[in-house]
Amino acid sequence: MAREVDLHAQIDAMLSGAPLSGFVVEGLSPYGFMTSRSRHMVMLQAVHMGIPVARVGRGNNEGFTPPRDRFIGGRNLTATKARLLLMACLMRFGALPPAADPSAPTAAELAAIRAKLALYQAVFDTH
């Protein structure tokens, strides 16, 4: 994860200056997978810090990007539409609850994160 200094810097900036922020990852088609395991782990840690992450595939991926690993599934959305929905969710539901230790969240912290993500996912599933 030390290689992903750009993501770590972006996460630090978001946490310090933009509390209602998130990421939209435009991953590989058709399933929206990230290009490396280390990026996946950094994005998962961002979720544990209170920053929601939505995954979408490039182009028209016909609904193949489901929710996975505490990431919001963008299904068939483009990255632009996912960004707009993510902004709307952040304004309506607020940020995710951060874990005290993002590298090892407790079961209760994971349950709180999943409960908030379910609200986000319901919005993504209906658009």
Q: Record the tokens describing residue 62, joined without a space.
A: 């016909």
Q: Record the tokens describing residue 58, joined without a space.
A: 């490039």
| CB 26 within 8 Å of CB 58 | yes
**Is the previous residue joined to 30 through a cis bond, with omega within 30 degrees of 0?**
yes
Q: 63-119: per-residue pLDDT in tens? A: 677 778 899 988 888 889 999 999 999 999 999 999 999 999 999 999 999 999 999
Give residue 30's pLDDT band: very low, low, confident or very high (50, 70, 90).
low
Span 51-62, average pLDDT: 82
pTM: 0.90
According to CATH, what is the number of the domain 5-125?
A: 3.40.50.40
8 burial (CB, 10 Å; 0-12 / 13-18 / 19+) is middle
What is residue 45's predicted lDDT score, i.e. its pLDDT? 96
What is residue 77's predicted lDDT score, i.e. its pLDDT? 87
**Domain-wise residue ranges, the chain:** 5-125
Residue 1 has pLDDT above 60, yes or no: no
Q: Cα torsion at 114, 115, 116, 118 (round to 10°)?
A: 80
What is residue 102's predicted lDDT score, i.e. its pLDDT? 96
Which one, of 70, 114, 90, lies nearest residue 18 by Cα? 90
| Residue 62, CA atoms < 13 Å, CB-side half-sphere | 2
What is residue 2's predicted lDDT score, i.e. its pLDDT? 60
Q: 103-121: per-residue pLDDT in tens? A: 999 999 999 999 999 999 9
d(C-alpha 75, C-alpha 15), whole Å: 27
